[in-house]
């Protein structure tokens, strides 16, 4: 008996050891897959490389195979949705942060298992009349999951694999910029960004030019063979239903085969974003902008209170059910409001941030964001990101940006202009100075609580050093060391001490001296 117990115990240890070894090997493989991708000797301000014209939008994406994006493990996409345009329901293999650059609209995020909390009021008022009238009569009125409004300056957080849709209910185009964090523990496929559409016959947003032409030829072949039988059409569409057999779908949904074939959208040529006929009819409360902002503020305060109680280790008041589920997660935060700036220097600029402290769902996604606005001659002092890569998208204006690597080499020294993207690897030092028209940007960061360390200013690493350390390190006098520490009293955003004309004259004189 003792021998049997010993053998069983040994087998358990062996299984446990092999399991731990498998986990460690998996982690090492994942690290090897991404480590070494950041050996960059030059960075570039990148433009979109792929464009799709859909029925109600334009979709642009950056080449995710570029070495900068491979370093950060991300992909970037920009969508311009026309008024009355509907982004078809989809989900992706990686967590996603969406910044609303312009416009307003509504979105639905479909969490599996969550209740349909938005329903037509007639559903309740006529409930008594409908009892006993059959299932078809009881389901005539609409009910669905929560509708969320969005506006310019919002950050929307989407977990991996969670489906969502978006609709422009305004009078002007909606422009969104999205970052997918493909190097995230939630993505167990590969580094390629993938969108899985639940409807339509969409194009792949992240295709390169040659792949896009192949997709167009394939679409033409689908159209030319539109009269072929069901078996030959199976799999020709590009949504998740397209590969299933129509009879299989009809059985799953308990509908006729013709309806099931419509799910496959084989001959739909509208692509990813479609034009809604009339106006989109959904169940949603009619509220003013002030009412939505007040509700957002209340949700933020209650969520922060729950988060405070969680960190203290107590549950607070006894709660159960709906309030504690993912169904009530707040997924949106506005980072454009001037009054909520985290860093502000008058007549220079401001920075707004969102992280897991202000939007707790970001702890799940391991992402955060920064929205900056520099006025003319405004300078974002040299600094580095302690714990995250930073993917900067230029919203408006221009800025002179310099980035320095661990060897002291300048890997970027150029203008960053509206619509361009620049990836700043973790720990690389960076500085930005706005040009004459100012500069606005949003930076997506690959950590839910990203931190920076300034190299100049009141809270800088230089200021924290003793005078003698500075004097000996830089071979300067103690007086010069004190000036280096105390000449800047601002923290992060400062006014440039030299005008653009002075810098231009100095650059020209240096050029003549070299000649």
Task: Tell me if 384 is assigned to some domain.
Answer: yes
- What is the C-alpha separation between 225 and 366, in angstroms, rounded? 46
Beta bridge partners of residue 424, listed in sequence order: 390
- What is the C-alpha separation between 94 and 193, in angstroms, rounded? 7
Range of the domain at 246: 38-117+142-208+236-311+324-334
Coil/strand/helix, residue 5: helix
Domain count, the chain: 2
Looking at the fold, whether 409 and 385 belong to one and the same domain comes out as yes
Structure tokens of 266?
């084989």
- From 334, 367, 400, give the residue that closes a domain: 334
Looking at the fold, whether 303 and 436 belong to one and the same domain comes out as no
Q: Which range, of 55-59, 142-146, 334-338, 423-427, averages the lowest pLDDT?
A: 142-146
Looking at the fold, whether 371 and 276 belong to one and the same domain comes out as no
Task: Tell me if 86 is assigned to some domain.
Answer: yes
Task: Tell me if 7 is assigned to some domain.
Answer: no
For residues 481-492, b (16+ Cβ closer than 10 Å) or e, as one string?
beebbeebebbb
pLDDT tens, residue by residue, 93-102 = 999 999 999 9
- Calculate helix-pair angle for 257-264, 246-253, nearest 10 degrees: 110
pLDDT tens, residue by residue, 159-211 = 999 999 999 999 999 999 999 999 999 999 999 999 999 998 888 888 754 45
Residues in the chain: 515
Looking at the fold, whether 297 and 416 belong to one and the same domain comes out as no
pLDDT band at 315 (very low <50, low <70, confident <90, very high): very low
Looking at the fold, whether 103 and 243 belong to one and the same domain comes out as yes
Looking at the fold, whether 375 and 432 belong to one and the same domain comes out as yes
Task: Tell me if 422 is assigned to some domain.
Answer: yes
The pLDDT value recorded for residue 178 is 98
Looking at the fold, whether 58 and 109 belong to one and the same domain comes out as yes
Q: What is the CATH number of the domain that holds 287?
A: 2.60.120.10
Is there a contact between 100 and 176 (Cβ–Cβ < 8 Å)? yes
pLDDT band at 230 (very low <50, low <70, confident <90, very high): very low
Beta bridge partners of residue 77, listed in sequence order: 61, 178
Looking at the fold, whether 329 and 363 belong to one and the same domain comes out as no
Looking at the fold, whether 187 and 53 belong to one and the same domain comes out as yes
Task: Tell me if 462 is assigned to some domain.
Answer: no
The DSSP secondary-structure symbol of 318 reads -
Q: Which range, of 24-33, 272-281, 370-379, 446-455, averages the lowest pLDDT?
A: 24-33
Task: Tell me if 135 is assigned to some domain.
Answer: no
* Percent of the chain that is helix, strand, coil (3-state, to 5): 30, 30, 40
Task: Tell me if 96 is assigned to some domain.
Answer: yes
Q: Which range, of 15-19, 251-255, 469-473, averages the lowest pLDDT?
A: 15-19
């Amino acid at each position: 008996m003792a021998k049997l117990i010993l053998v069983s115990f040994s087998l358990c240890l062996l299984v446990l050891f092999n399991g731990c070894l498998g986990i460690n090997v998996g982690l090492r493989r994942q690290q090897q897959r991404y480590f070494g991708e950041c050996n960059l000797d030059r960075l570039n301000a990148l433009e979109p490389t792929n464009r799709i014209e859909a029925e109600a939008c334009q979709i642009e994406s950056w080449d995710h195979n570029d070495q900068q994006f491979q370093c950060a493990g991300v992909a970037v996409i920009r969508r311009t949705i026309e008024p009355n345009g509907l982004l078809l329901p989809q989900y992706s293999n990686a967590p996603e942060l969406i910044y609303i650059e312009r416009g307003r609209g509504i979105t639905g995020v479909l969490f599996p298992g969550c209740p349909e909390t938005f329903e037509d009021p007639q559903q309740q008022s006529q409930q008594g009349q409908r009892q006993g009238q059959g299932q078809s009569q009881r389901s005539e009125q609409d009910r669905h999951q929560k509708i969320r409004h969005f506006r310019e300056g919002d950050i929307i957080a989407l977990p991996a694999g969670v489906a969502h849709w978006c609709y422009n209910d305004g009078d002007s185009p909606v422009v969104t910029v999205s970052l997918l964090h493909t190097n995230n523990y939630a993505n167990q496929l590969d580094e390629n960004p993938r969108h899985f559409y639940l409807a339509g016959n969409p194009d792949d947003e992240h295709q390169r030019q040659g792949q896009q032409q192949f997709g167009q030829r394939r679409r033409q072949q689908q159209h030319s063979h539109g009269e072929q039988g069901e078996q030959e059409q199976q799999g020709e569409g590009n949504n998740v239903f397209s590969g299933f057999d129509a009879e299989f779908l009809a059985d799953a949904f308990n509908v006729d085969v013709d309806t099931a074939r419509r799910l496959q959208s084989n001959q739909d040529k509208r692509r990813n974003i479609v034009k809604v006929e009339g106006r989109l009819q959904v169940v949603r409360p009619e509220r003013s902008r002030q009412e939505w902002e007040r509700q957002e503020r209340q949700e933020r305060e209650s969520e922060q209170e729950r988060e405070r109680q969680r960190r203290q280790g107590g549950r607070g008041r006894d709660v159960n059910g709906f309030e504690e589920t993912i169904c009530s997660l707040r997924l949106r935060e506005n980072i454009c409001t001037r009054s909520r700036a985290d860093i502000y220097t008058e007549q220079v600029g401001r920075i707004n941030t969102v992280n897991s402290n202000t939007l707790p769902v970001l702890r799940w996604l391991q992402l955060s964001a920064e929205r900056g606005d520099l006025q003319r001659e405004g300078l974002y002092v040299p600094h580095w990101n302690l714990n995250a890569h930073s993917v900067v998208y230029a919203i408006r204006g221009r800025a002179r940006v310099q980035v320095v690597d661990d060897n002291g080499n300048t890997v970027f020294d150029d203008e960053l202009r509206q619509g361009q993207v620049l990836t700043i690897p973790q720990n690389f030092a960076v500085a930005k100075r706005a040009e004459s028209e100012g500069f606005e940007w949003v930076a997506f960061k690959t950590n839910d609580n990203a931190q920076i360390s300034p190299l100049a200013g009141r809270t800088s690493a230089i200021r924290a050093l003793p005078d003698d350390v500075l004097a000996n390190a830089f071979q300067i006098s103690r007086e010069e060391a004190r000036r280096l520490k105390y000449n800047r009293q601002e923290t992060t955003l400062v006014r440039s001490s030299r005008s653009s004309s002075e810098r231009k004259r100095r650059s020209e004189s240096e050029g003549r001296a070299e000649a």
